[in-house]
Structure 1
Amino acid sequence: MGLIFRWLLRLAAGLVALVVAAMALVYYLAGQSLPDYTQTLEVSGVGAPVEIMRDNNNVPHVFGSSDPDVFFGLGYAHAQDRLWQMTTLRRTVQGRLSEVFGQRTVSIDRLLRRLDLYRLAQQSVSAQDAYTTAALEAYAAGVNARLEEINAKALGRGAPEMFLFNAPVAPWHPADSIAIIKLMGLQLSGHLEEEILRARTSLMLDDQARLVDILPDAPGTGVAALPEYAAMFPGVPRYAEARSDPRDPLSPLPRHGLAGASNAWAAAPSRSASGGTLLANDPHLGFAAPSTWYLARLELARGGVIGGTIPGVPLVLVGRGERLGWGLTSSYMDDQDLFIEKLNPDNPEEYLTPSGYKAFETRPSIIEIKDAAPITLTLRWTENGPVLPGSVYDLETITPPGHVVSLGWTMLDPRDTSFSAAMALMNAGTVAEALRATETYVAPSQNLTLADRETIALKMLGAVPRRDAAHQSQGRLPSQGWRAENRWQGRMPNASNPEFVSPVGGLLGNTNNKLLERPFPNHISFVWGDTQRVSRWQRLMQSREVHTRDSFIEAQLDPVSPTARNLLPLIGADLWFTGEAAPAGTPERQRQIALGLLAEWNGEMNEHLPEPLIYAAWVRALQKRLIMDELGPLAEEFKHVEPLFIERVYKDIDGASAWCDIRQSAPVETCTEIARLALDDALVWIGERYGTALESLRWGDAHQATHDHPVLGEVPLLRHFVNIRQSTSGGDNTLQRGRTSGEDPDPFQNVHGAGFRGVYDFADPDSSVFVISTGQSGHFLSRHYDDLAQLWRRGEYIPMSLDTELARAAAVGLTQLVPKQ
């Protein structure tokens, strides 16, 4: 017996030693790809030495004798820290993910091939000006210099992920950078899904007057009545079950309610305590590890610029120079239309146009798939745009037999000069120069907020489609592609884009809210990204006569929900302080406790409070009860609470209280009854998930920011090393926006928000600050993988200085790239 025990002990010890050795080997191999920030390297492609000095937050400050050399240095720095992210973005836009990830990403590749964004990027390279072309080429050379170094020195393939997903890395090209901007445009696009959802909802509703309730317009002058979708396409069933594939973390298609968002605001010297202009910007994108953003400083011939870059792109997209700051927010301009194309019944390779049937423009495209046979697609284009697969947002559910759907989109421009416009913006020194520089910007549409030392301005960038006033659906529903009045008729002039310079009140800003009211077809958009945050912003801005950098930071981090303050008095109007005494532990007692807590709450979505969780669960359950009987299974598509819908219902605007009655039941339910039932639903769900002690709940336990690695984040054990999870304040409708997932079993996870925050004070530019949501490095073994994440969570910032000596004094590394002899 003792002998057996000794052998079992030896065997266990051997297994432990083997595991430890394996882990040590993995750690060693992964650690080989950690970059050396202090070295001198001979490279091809620079005209003179380039210096990359990294401050103590690992922000690279790039110096060179010419602008192309500086962009070379940025390309090298990006590839040092974010090579896996860059190559994955490139594979995504090329439609080549399946070469690495196999069958799981075939649907993504199908879509990207059909959109043809990469080929359009290749065609757009020749449309750029000489300065931008030189920058793109130099940046690509810098990335390739890092690839050559990795190969020559066997530096662990450049990133740990390369060991698990081994695939050759092609040299970087100028088109790759333009293509990544186009991919971002897809991530920011929301009108495509909005049209499909509006069509599906229209089909389900018996009373079309109720469509404006559940998919409301932003407050302002109303629009004319639209045709029923069923009337335009009578062959479509009321409801068709969606058969789309499960959503992959690598998919660039935004889920409903998770397209682009952002905040930006500026103050003129008359409203600034320091006497200089102020600018704050926090762009909102989906969270990931590493962050979408990468901080960098470039010392260009026209002066230094510092701010947020996107790995793979030689631009400071948001940030400041010595004399000018610029911020971006999604404009929600309607730059997409869906067209239902009628096939020729005698020849399905033809589609109907205003002048008769015409052959599709076609070409084959082969998708290589890891561990599977390749598939060949036939890409088809109409005069309106590319033909989309039926799986995209469940397009097949609204497509009549004998038809296909094509997409019109301003991003599909083969001569897109947006990159040159953005490059000119980065080199501008005044608001006037910036506005002139961006006249040739095409897509994706953005609101540009500007501040130089004296002037503030806001301008909507991007090409606006020119629509016919007789358009069948005003671009709000998929329309008949063969009718001339539904087709785009070119672009509106840039001068017609909304523009605000030096407002009288000295303050301007945008929270993706409605900018102005214009009648169709000059309307800009019917769908806007915010109807709630803007009210809180107005209150905070006007509550002070003058502002400071700190008051702008306070506004960025404000967690108060104006939505909660508006909705709770409506839905609880007949529930507050009513009901008989109830014993502890009963549903009635829980309801009374919950109502008591909410009655004393000020709407602050603080991570440490229980009230935000009770409120969020209540309104989510309430919307579900209101729409389930009318929309049936389609109700699952409405994953986020629409505040205007609940407000319309509980104010009974145009008969909207009809939603409260359950159609299948004999009694006529009141809105008060539905509110009470929904609160009980919410408390049951909370009790099962977080316990019944309501006073001890924490919103932050449910509202965790999910900075997850899009590939390794699902791997058991490894996910604990690569995912960054944080308890956070804020919510769907707060200025400190933390958009929730809406997906069971964790509907309140924080999945979309400010991955970058920056605040600039031009009275003292070097007092400006910024931060990103993770760290600079994409290597999970690096101390810079998550070192900024806790600062971000706590609402702290790091300095944004162009003082070279200050950066040098706290440098953690100095890389010198010298011309190869």
Structure 2
Amino acid sequence: MKRTLTALAVIVAATAGGAYWYIDSKQPQRAGELQLSALQAAVTVDYDERGVPHIQAQNEADMYRALGYVHAQDRLFQMEILRRLARGELAEILGSKLVDTDRLFRTLGIREHADRYAAKMDMSATASKALQAYLDGINQYQANHPAPIEFDVLGIDKRPFTTADTLSVAGYMAYSFAAAFRTEPVLTHIRDQLGADYLKVFDLDWHPQGVVGQQLAAGDWQDLNAIAELSLAALEEAGLPQFEGSNAWAVSGSRTASGKPLLAGDPHIRFAVPSVWYEANLSYPGFSLYGHHQALNPVASLGHNNEFAWSITMFQNDDLDLIAEKTNPDNPNQVWYRGQWVDLQSREEQISVKDAEPVSLTIRRSPHGPIINSALGETAGSTPIAMWWAFLETDNPILDGFYQLNRANSLDTARAAVENIESPGLNIVWANASGDIGWWAAAKLPRRPAGVNPSFILDGASGEAEKDGYFPFSANPQEENPARGYIVSANYQPVSPTGMAIPGYYNLPDRGQRLNQRLSDNSVKWDLNNSQALQLEPGTGYPQRLLTPLAADLRAAAGDAEEQALVEQLLGWDGQHTLDATAATLFNQLVYQLTVEAMADELSEAFFATLLQTRVLDSALPRLASDATSPWWDKRGSDAVESRADTVKAAWQASLAHLRSTLGNDASTWAWGNVHTLTHSHPLGQQKPLDTLFNVGPFAAPGGHETPNNLSQPIGPAPWSVVYGPSTRRLIDMADASSALGINPVGQSGVLFDKHYKDQAERYMRGEYVPMHLDLDAIKANSRSQLVLQPRAD
């Protein structure tokens, strides 16, 4: 027995020792010395208390090469999984269940576009050189260090990262903006299958002369919804960040306590582990920037230094059209284009599949763009649906644009940089220490034919899908140093200087209106403290906008004194989504049930599920509530003619029944924090039991859908999981940029078991901010370790 116990102890100790060695071998090295090839001089990297690297180099190439190396230490798996998603290569490591996702991304043309773009890039340009140095740093790290744990779990072979990979990831980020896949099929279906009276609540022009509805058969409608579902699933199930919305504002010195401009920004992005942004403070003689970087991108998407600062929001312009092509009855590989039959182009690709045979894919293209039916494989219907997407069709020197923006300290240089950002559409909100503030909507806006509404699927044979060039950048929405003393951007529909219409899938105006209301108060002098309170604002006026027209119907629906009290509590609610708010729970459940009772019977289950994921539903519900005569209120398949009051009563009763069965009969326990939670999901955390190891959370979450603190949940039944929200909160007072504040939702590192994997998650949920150390004195004072990268004697 003694010998057995001794042997067992040895085995346990060896196993524990082996596990410790294995985990330790995967951790980033943040102290000591390392050698890198192609460095011209030593580079020092000071790591602060959050694991943010502060890189001090002697020249630009060394700086970007060091950034690539340290970025890879913390985020190599994020880089790998993002490039595989964008290039349609997930099935190679995750198996057959990812073939549909790979087929979708191959069909979108991101991979093929990136390869062509990379081949024609001027690699002698300064931005291209920066990218080459950065990628070299990544590849040197990958080649000389053990692979991340995720590589071992999934059996991923190392391979170098390329310029095409960076461009592919940019395509994925652009695609994650595109709401057209979810919105255009369902709106076209409502228009052509239900009619103008049903379309009215969406406040879209009715085009009865459109012939698309006559072309599409039942199988084609199924195709369109299948593509919408596939598009949504590809984004939701990847466990990777995608862009959704954002807040940003700049206040001029006349309105701040310091007398200098103040910039605030919090881009709204799907939560994930690791989070989207990698923070790094970069410097070499003549250059300094504290930046927030995306995976595989050497230039910062958000940044600041002592001279200037900027943030971004999503423009939400419609830069993607779906187009139904007319095929030749005698040749299905031809479509009618500008008065003649033209051949569809096609190419063959193969999708490698783990533990299965490769899947062959034929990708076709019309003159309008890729035929997205290819994403459905052999089940595709008879009508080819083409995709015109500005990301594929414009020159889009976005790398150059952000490279220049990283160095733009004046209005003129910032404006010139922003003009190079053509797709996806972004609002750049900018400020400098000289006192200027500015906003430019960056996008290449196409000239569509008069009267064409791209909210619907367009007819490829009629000419309505053609583009007559692009509008000049001067026609884009923009402002510089407005007299009111502030600029706010919150994804609502902006106004062009020319007054032209800019089609898009914009967010509700409520969030922007709430920010504008606060910022317009001339009695307030803005500083870092009251700006924090505004970023963390959990309220919205949307509930009362929706509920007020329904007040009488809700009071009539209340069955007893307890229900009457709940109705009055709801009608008197101020819209604050605080953790203890029970009205927030009741309201969001009622929104879902009202949508179900009013709209589900008119739509198939699949189209209704797609509608729930669109931004147009947010705008439609208050219009529906205000129109007691809308045909949506009448339930199809019922002998009776239901009124608004009937439907509201059914929704009210269903809401209470669900909440009572889910949360209990005591309504005082229906606190928002009990049902509204945030879990940061890792790609491997999609599977149990790996979720307990890789995911971070859940946390009770304040805020909600379209509040300034936009911790947003989908429309659905309680409980709710937060999908997206502030991917960082940044506040920079240009009087002292070294005092700038920020926060990461999870942690700086993506390496499991690293101390910076989730060290900011709880502070983020509490609404705390942390310093973003900029100046040399602050860097040295807060340095926890120093890594020195030395030139390798090759």
1:562 corresponds to 2:541:
yes
Residue of structure 2 aligned with 1:29, choices 22, 31, 35 = 22
1:475 corresponds to 2:447:
no
Question: What is the alpha-carbon distance in structure 2 between the residues aligned to residue 495 and residue 254 of structure 1?
Answer: 39
1:374 corresponds to 2:362:
no
- Structure 1 stretch 500-509 or stretch 230-239: which is displaced more? 230-239
CA contact (8 A) 1:649 1:656 kept: no
Question: What is the alpha-carbon distance in structure 2 between the residues aligned to residue 757 and residue 91 of structure 1?
Answer: 29
Give the alignment of 1:144-223 within 5 angstroms. Answer: 144-150=139-145, 155=146, 157=147, 159-205=148-194, 207-213=195-201, 215-216=202-203, 223=205
Give the alignment of 1:511-550 within 5 angstroms. Answer: 511-516=490-495, 522-545=500-523, 546-550=525-529
Report the counterpart of residue 251 of structure 1 in structure 2: 234
Q: Secondary structure at the match of 2:77?
A: helix
Question: What is the alpha-carbon distance in structure 2 between the residues aligned to residue 19 and residue 747 of structure 1?
Answer: 42
Report the counterpart of residue 298 of structure 1 in structure 2: 282
Question: What is the alpha-carbon distance in structure 2 between the residues aligned to residue 594 and residue 414 of structure 1?
Answer: 54
What do residues 379-412 of structure 1 show as CA deviations (whole Å, max 9, x unaligned)?
Answer: 22221111113657x998xx8x642111111111
Residue of structure 2 aligned with 1:389, choices 373, 396, 401 = 373
1:363 corresponds to 2:363:
no
Question: What is the alpha-carbon distance in structure 2 between the residues aligned to residue 246 and residue 331 of structure 1?
Answer: 24
1:22–1:415 distance in 2 versus 1, CA, 3 Å: farther
Question: What is the alpha-carbon distance in structure 2 between the residues aligned to residue 636 and residue 91 of structure 1?
Answer: 28
Question: What is the alpha-carbon distance in structure 1 between the residues aligned to residue 162 and residue 115 of structure 2?
Answer: 9
Report the counterpart of residue 434 of structure 1 in structure 2: 414
CA contact (8 A) 2:173 2:243 kept: no
Q: Secondary structure at the match of 1:440?
A: coil
CA contact (8 A) 1:335 1:410 kept: yes
Q: Report the identity percentage.
A: 26
Q: Alpha-carbon deviation of 1:368?
A: 0.8
Report the counterpart of residue 642 of structure 2 in structure 1: 669
Residue of structure 1 aligned with 2:624, choices 646, 649, 654 = 649
- Structure 1 stretch 475-484 or stretch 131-140: which is displaced more? 475-484
1:798–1:367 distance in 2 versus 1, CA, 3 Å: same
Residue of structure 2 aligned with 1:785, choices 754, 757, 780 = 757
Question: What is the alpha-carbon distance in structure 2 between the residues aligned to residue 470 and residue 661 of structure 1?
Answer: 32
Residue of structure 2 aligned with 1:694, choices 667, 690, 704 = 667
Give the alignment of 1:283-682 within 5 angstroms. Answer: 283-389=267-373, 402-413=382-393, 415-453=395-433, 454-469=435-450, 471=452, 474-516=453-495, 522-545=500-523, 546-576=525-555, 588-633=560-605, 634-639=607-612, 642-652=617-627, 656-682=629-655
CA contact (8 A) 2:169 2:296 kept: yes
1:94 corresponds to 2:84:
no
What do residues 748-802 of structure 1 show as CA deviations (whole Å, max 9, x unaligned)?
Answer: 2111111111111111211211112110111121110111111211111111231
Q: Secondary structure at the match of 1:96?
A: coil
CA contact (8 A) 1:37 1:813 kept: yes
Report the counterpart of residue 35 of structure 2 in structure 1: 42
1:356–1:807 distance in 2 versus 1, CA, 3 Å: same
Q: Alpha-carbon deviation of 1:476?
A: 1.9
Q: Secondary structure at the match of 1:740?
A: coil
Report the counterpart of residue 725 of structure 1 in structure 2: 698
1:320–1:212 distance in 2 versus 1, CA, 3 Å: farther
Q: Alpha-carbon deviation of 1:15?
A: 10
Q: Alpha-carbon deviation of 1:86?
A: 0.4
Question: What is the alpha-carbon distance in structure 2 between the residues aligned to residue 774 and residue 22 of structure 1?
Answer: 30
CA contact (8 A) 2:210 2:459 kept: no
Q: Secondary structure at the match of 1:298?
A: strand
- Show structure 2 runs of 5+ residues with no match: none
What do residues 325-361 of structure 1 show as CA deviations (whole Å, max 9, x unaligned)?
Answer: 1111110111111111223333333222224222222
Amino acid at match of 1:482: A
Question: What is the alpha-carbon distance in structure 2 between the residues aligned to residue 230 and residue 245 of structure 1?
Answer: 18
Q: Alpha-carbon deviation of 1:702?
A: 1.6
Question: What is the alpha-carbon distance in structure 2 between the residues aligned to residue 817 and residue 133 of structure 1?
Answer: 23
Question: What is the alpha-carbon distance in structure 2 between the residues aligned to residue 765 and residue 145 of structure 1?
Answer: 34
CA contact (8 A) 2:540 2:575 kept: yes
Give the alignment of 1:233-252 within 5 angstroms. Answer: 233=215, 235-236=217-218, 240=222, 251-252=234-235
CA contact (8 A) 2:476 2:497 kept: no
Question: What is the alpha-carbon distance in structure 1 between the residues aligned to residue 349 and residue 498 of structure 2?
Answer: 42
Question: What is the alpha-carbon distance in structure 2 between the residues aligned to residue 210 and residue 294 of structure 1?
Answer: 46
Q: Alpha-carbon deviation of 1:536?
A: 1.1
1:381–1:345 distance in 2 versus 1, CA, 3 Å: same
Q: Secondary structure at the match of 2:552?
A: coil
- Structure 1 stretch 120-129 or stretch 235-244: which is displaced more? 235-244
Q: Secondary structure at the match of 2:519?
A: helix
Q: Alpha-carbon deviation of 1:656?
A: 4.8
CA contact (8 A) 2:212 2:459 kept: no
CA contact (8 A) 1:45 1:142 kept: no
Q: Alpha-carbon deviation of 1:52?
A: 1.4
Report the counterpart of residue 65 of structure 2 in structure 1: 72
Report the counterpart of residue 136 of structure 1 in structure 2: 131
Amino acid at match of 1:177: T
What do residues 563-596 of structure 1 show as CA deviations (whole Å, max 9, x unaligned)?
Answer: 11322333233444x789xxxxxx6355234224
Q: Secondary structure at the match of 1:403?
A: coil
Report the counterpart of residue 251 of structure 2 in structure 1: 267
Amino acid at match of 1:104: K
Question: What is the alpha-carbon distance in structure 2 between the residues aligned to residue 539 and residue 16 of structure 1?
Answer: 67
Question: What is the alpha-carbon distance in structure 1 between the residues aligned to residue 209 and residue 696 of structure 2?
Answer: 47
Q: Alpha-carbon deviation of 1:627?
A: 1.1
Q: Alpha-carbon deviation of 1:244?
A: 6.5
Q: Alpha-carbon deviation of 1:721?
A: 4.6
CA contact (8 A) 1:250 1:711 kept: no
Question: What is the alpha-carbon distance in structure 2 between the residues aligned to residue 573 and residue 20 of structure 1?
Answer: 71
1:27–1:380 distance in 2 versus 1, CA, 3 Å: farther
Q: Alpha-carbon deviation of 1:28?
A: 3.9
1:686–1:253 distance in 2 versus 1, CA, 3 Å: closer
1:684–1:361 distance in 2 versus 1, CA, 3 Å: same
CA contact (8 A) 1:339 1:478 kept: yes
Question: What is the alpha-carbon distance in structure 2 between the residues aligned to residue 247 and residue 225 of structure 1?
Answer: 28
CA contact (8 A) 1:94 1:112 kept: yes
- Structure 1 stretch 195-204 or stretch 677-686: which is displaced more? 195-204
Q: Secondary structure at the match of 2:26?
A: coil
Q: Alpha-carbon deviation of 1:71?
A: 0.8
CA contact (8 A) 2:543 2:575 kept: yes
1:741–1:787 distance in 2 versus 1, CA, 3 Å: same
Q: Alpha-carbon deviation of 1:16?
A: 11
Q: Secondary structure at the match of 2:707?
A: coil
Question: What is the alpha-carbon distance in structure 1 between the residues aligned to residue 646 and residue 291 of structure 2?
Answer: 52
1:212–1:47 distance in 2 versus 1, CA, 3 Å: farther
Q: Secondary structure at the match of 1:136?
A: helix
What do residues 188-215 of structure 1 show as CA deviations (whole Å, max 9, x unaligned)?
Answer: 111232211211222441x3232131x3
Q: Secondary structure at the match of 1:265?
A: strand
Amino acid at match of 1:645: A
Question: What is the alpha-carbon distance in structure 2 between the residues aligned to residue 438 and residue 513 of structure 1?
Answer: 20
CA contact (8 A) 1:111 1:389 kept: no
Aligned residues: 781
Residue of structure 2 aligned with 1:116, choices 106, 109, 115 = 109
Amino acid at match of 1:233: Q
Give RMSD over aligned pairs.
3.0
Report the counterpart of residue 750 of structure 1 in structure 2: 722
